Chains A and B, each alone.
Chain A
Amino acid sequence: DQQVKQNSPSLSVQEGRISILNCDYTNSMFDYFLWYKKYPAEGPTFLISISSIKDKNEDGRFTVFLNKSAKHLSLHIVPSQPGDSAVYFCAASPEYGNKLVFGAGTILRVKS
């Protein structure tokens, strides 16, 4: 049972344009959501998070939007840079700091 789904295995974007990565979840008990970025042969690096009491959180070029009614969140990267090329994982947690549930990841390629 995939509780967190990233339906796009890959995304290709031109440098300078917006990258939008999507994530859907099914468990209504999730109340905290995170995005991680991962390069090959490295561990995931935390990017940005959002609590279920908010619908938007912004940090520099990264913005996460949460639509609780649709059980959907998205990560926007503006402007996209070649160094953003990596695998992006969406993760959700039902309570603080415990047992993150990850999506399968989306490979982002930013072309220069």
Chain B
Amino acid sequence: QKEVEQNSGPLSVPEGAIASLNCTYSDRGSQSFFWYRQYSGKSPELIMSIYSNGDKEDGRFTAQLNKASQYVSLLIRDSQPSDSATYLCAVYDTGNQFYFGTGTSLTVIP
């Protein structure tokens, strides 16, 4: 079983809609959770960090964490074409290791 799993997509949403990206992880004791955005040909850019259960909002982005279900998600409200990218989920686990999912490709259709 992979440490971090994401639906590879592609996920397509119309402009202005809410995009929902999901991630599950295997290490129940994992401490920290991150979302990175990666444009084609570019490097990953950190956009959200979350450490405790519940929601964390930053502008149009909301990260949600449910440690009991070992589930973390990213919601993008009012999606824009510029949000079209691959989104990587990353988890810092109890072994002090950083694991990345393989990413979900998001396309926002104008």
Q: Do A and B bind each other?
A: no
List chain B positions with a Cβ less than 8 A from chain A: none
